[in-house]
Each structure stands twice: as structure tokens, then as C-alpha cells.
Amino acid sequence: MKFAQSLALSGLVASASAVPLACGPSGKWFDRFVVIVMENTNKATALADPYYRQLADEGVLLDGYQGTTHPSQPNYITMISSTTAAGVYDDADHNSTQGNLIDILEPAGISWKAYMEGYYPLDGGACNPMHQNKTSGYVRKHNPFMSFDNIRENTARCQNIVNAEEHFAADVAKGRHAPQYMYYTPTLNNDAHDTNVTYTETDLKYIINTMKDNEQFMKNTLIMVTFDENDIYSPDSYGTSNDVYTVLLGKDTLSCTGCVDKKFYNHFTQLTTIEQNWGLPNVPNHDGNGPMWDSWMVPFTTLKAKNNRN
């Protein structure tokens, strides 16, 4: 991989095409964001795996990206909320009244869906607050949406938390009509929690290739593959670096491939970038001033004007 010499020279670009982009509000840099969250692996271990290395070579490796804390659950919740999970610092079931990302996506007309492998909703699509399904490999601690009262107790919102095996490929097949914010959580086996990154390759390849193979879906879509935390669990290690493998991908959107960004980022960066991309108000208690990946992104309005002249 080559190291980027200047962040200012890199960016996400949207290619000229007659194919319409995502339905819904256009973003400053991307129209759709997909995040896939893997588990408990050191960055060096992931990069030593051929498939994860391949993804890094195809995209932009955020080499300074870190998890926010230990154990798992607070990392997931910080991706859609503003603090370390409103007092959530463990893997127990929690019910929070705090605001979250969905509270700012919906008023802006930005569609969303959370895809959970091994998750089965209750009758009528109501949220299933179960702690774990030992047969399927689903665990609530990896489903941050379930921790917020205004999602879990809202039947309409619960319809957007779905079984990944049944809905993900079908939604991607909708092309530009697919949700604009998509959050994907594999099972304990498929996310490396109970296995390793080599085991996860089959499932992750399926997820990634399902998206890559749909040209309309990929138009102006940004994909992130990240891990919740590294595999250091000792309390003595909690204050040390929590480096995790994180890569950005996007067919026809990355102007720099195989590049490395060494700036510091963490899971809060997802919120900041999403807020700024769609011009959204900050999630409650989130100041929106954290680092973003905008060094890699070119304003879509500029590219649209350029493409219209071609």
C-alpha cells in the first residue's frame, strides 16, 4: 500500500453517469452510508489476513482509527449516540432515554435500516429485546438501536431493525431505492467474536460483493468496515491504544485507493461525518466538532457540476 503524501489531494468522487443516485436527500460527499461492524480483533491481525488486506488495498485505510472504550457494547452505542452510551460501560441490557442518530435522520427524510444477523423481531415487526439467541448467534449488545427507548418502544422504528439474512440482499437489489443509512451486524461467529478474521471472510465477502455487484446501489455510496474494539481485555490495558482496522470503500467514488490516513479517528467520527454530510443538527450532547474523513472527500455539488459539463 502507498502512503498518502497529501490529504488535500485525496477525495471521494462521484463518477459521471446517467444512472440516478440514491433516493432521498443528497449529501455533501455521499448519498448513502453503510457501516459493517466486526469484533474484537487487533488491527495488525486483520491486516495480516489476505481478504482484509485486499479491502484495504481497494479503499482507504484509516490507520489512526480507534475504538472508544472496552468492552463491546459502548463502542456500538457511540456509533449512533453522542456519549459513551448514556452511562453504558458494560455488556448488560440497558434502556436509555437519550437521543440518537435516528432522531436527526428521520426529520431530514433520510431513510435507514439496521441489519442484524440472527435477529428475529416479534409479531408485527415489534422490537425483540432478547439478550441473546444462542442458536442463531445474535446478541443484543451488538445491536445499539435496542438500547434506546424511543426506538425499541416505537413500532414504526422497529420495522427498520430486521433480520439481515432475509432483508439485506433484497434491499440492496432495490438499487438507488435502498436505505441511505445502513447498519450491519454479523453473528458472533461471522464477526470474529467467537472465531477469527479468516472464518469471517465468507460472510463478509458476500456482504461486500452483494453491494459491489449492484451498480445503481453503489452510486455515491460510502462503505465502512470497522471493528468495535481490539482484543485487549485486561483492565490494565484499557488506557492503552484501542487501534482497530477500519477501511472506507466505494465503487467509482474513491479517488485514492490503497492509501493510508494516519489521522486520529474513533467511532464518534461516524456521527460527525454523517451530520456534516447531510447538514444535520448534532445528535443531543454531541458537539459535532470531532475529526472527519472529509480530507478524502470532494463536495458532490462540485462534482455534479463538472459531470454535467462532460
**Residue 194 falls in the annotated catalytic set:** yes
How far is the C-alpha of 70 from the C-alpha of 96, rounded, in Å? Answer: 19
The active-site residue, picked from 91, 149, 194, 236, is 194
List the beta bridge partners of residue 222: 33
Exposed / middle / buried, residue 3 (Cβ in 10 Å: 0-12, 13-18, 19+)? exposed
How far is the C-alpha of 132 from the C-alpha of 142, rounded, in Å? Answer: 10
How far is the C-alpha of 39 from the C-alpha of 125, rounded, in Å? Answer: 27
> What CA–CA distances, in Å, run from 110 to 37, 44, 114, 117, 180?
21, 35, 13, 23, 6
First to last CA, the chain: 32
What's the length of the chain? 310
Angle between helices 164-172 and 197-212 (to 10 degrees): 40
Q: How many CA atoms, within 13 angstroms, populate the side-chain half-sphere of residue 193?
A: 20
Of the candidates 163, 194, 195, which has an alpha carbon nearest to the alpha carbon of residue 49? 195
Cβ atoms 99, 86 nearer than 8 A? no
Cβ atoms 277, 253 nearer than 8 A? no
Catalytic positions, please?
194
